[in-house]
Amino acid sequence: KENDSAAARPSPTATATASKEPDATGSEAPTDAGEAPVDEVPKAFVGTWEGPLTEQTSGQPHGTLTAAFTEGRKGTQVVRMSTTISQLGITVTCNSVGTLTSGTAKELKVRERTDPDRPSTPGLCTTTEADLVFRLAADGTLGYRSKERAAGLPYGDLTRSGR
């Protein structure tokens, strides 16, 4: 009888292995509701955000980023950005747009390219595509991180602006 009752219960090893498998395989098993994949921009991102950027590679200021998010689906343009840098009486403005590549309720991954409709300061802005990450923080700010090495890997915390 002891063997019968043991056979009816799942072994602790089998249960532990089954519960660990999604993590080990890197599947999209969410750790909480905020990490489940989304196909469109969550409402919490929609609006205009602004804040100072710093270059990770040099520690130098990288100007002020304004990012205006609109509703949109994966694969479509969802954000218009403008980075303004003023130094020694010269103002450089770099305009770009971003396409949603993936995201969760808390984090969006965007592919940035030069804005074809708004000219940037000639010769002073990067023109290559770059991957960006925007992440909502618990304090209501929006973390920004660019993976563009040519731009110094800029990062910063953005706050909602009235625009």
Instruction: Verify that 27 and 52 share a domain, yes or no.
Output: no
38 assigned to some structural domain: no
Distances (CA, A) of 81 to 66, 94, 99, 101, 159: 6, 8, 11, 16, 14
37 assigned to some structural domain: no
Q: What pTM, to 2 d.p., does this model score?
A: 0.77
80 assigned to some structural domain: yes
Distances (CA, A) of 115 to 11, 19, 25, 85, 157: 58, 46, 38, 17, 22
Look up the domain containing 111 and give its range. Answer: 43-160
Please name the residue ranges forming H helices in the chain: 2-8, 12-25
Instruction: Verify that 24 and 92 share a domain, yes or no.
Output: no
For residue range 84-105, what is the model confidence (pLDDT) as tens digits? 999 889 999 999 999 999 999 9
Instruction: Report the SS3 class of residue 28.
Output: coil
Identify the burial level of 90 via C-beta atoms within 10 angstroms of its C-beta, where 0-12 means exposed, 13-18 middle and 19 or more buried: exposed
Instruction: Verify that 70 and 119 share a domain, yes or no.
Output: yes
For residue range 92-141, what is the model confidence (pLDDT) as tens digits? 999 999 999 999 999 999 999 999 999 999 888 988 999 999 999 999 99
Query: How many domains does the chain divide into?
Result: 2
Identify the burial level of 53 via C-beta atoms within 10 angstroms of its C-beta, where 0-12 means exposed, 13-18 middle and 19 or more buried: buried
Has residue 16 got a pLDDT over 80?
Answer: no
Instruction: Verify that 68 and 132 share a domain, yes or no.
Output: yes
Instruction: Verify that 104 and 125 share a domain, yes or no.
Output: yes
Between 19 and 31, the more confident residue is 31
Instruction: Verify that 25 and 48 share a domain, yes or no.
Output: no
Segment 13-26 mean pLDDT: 38
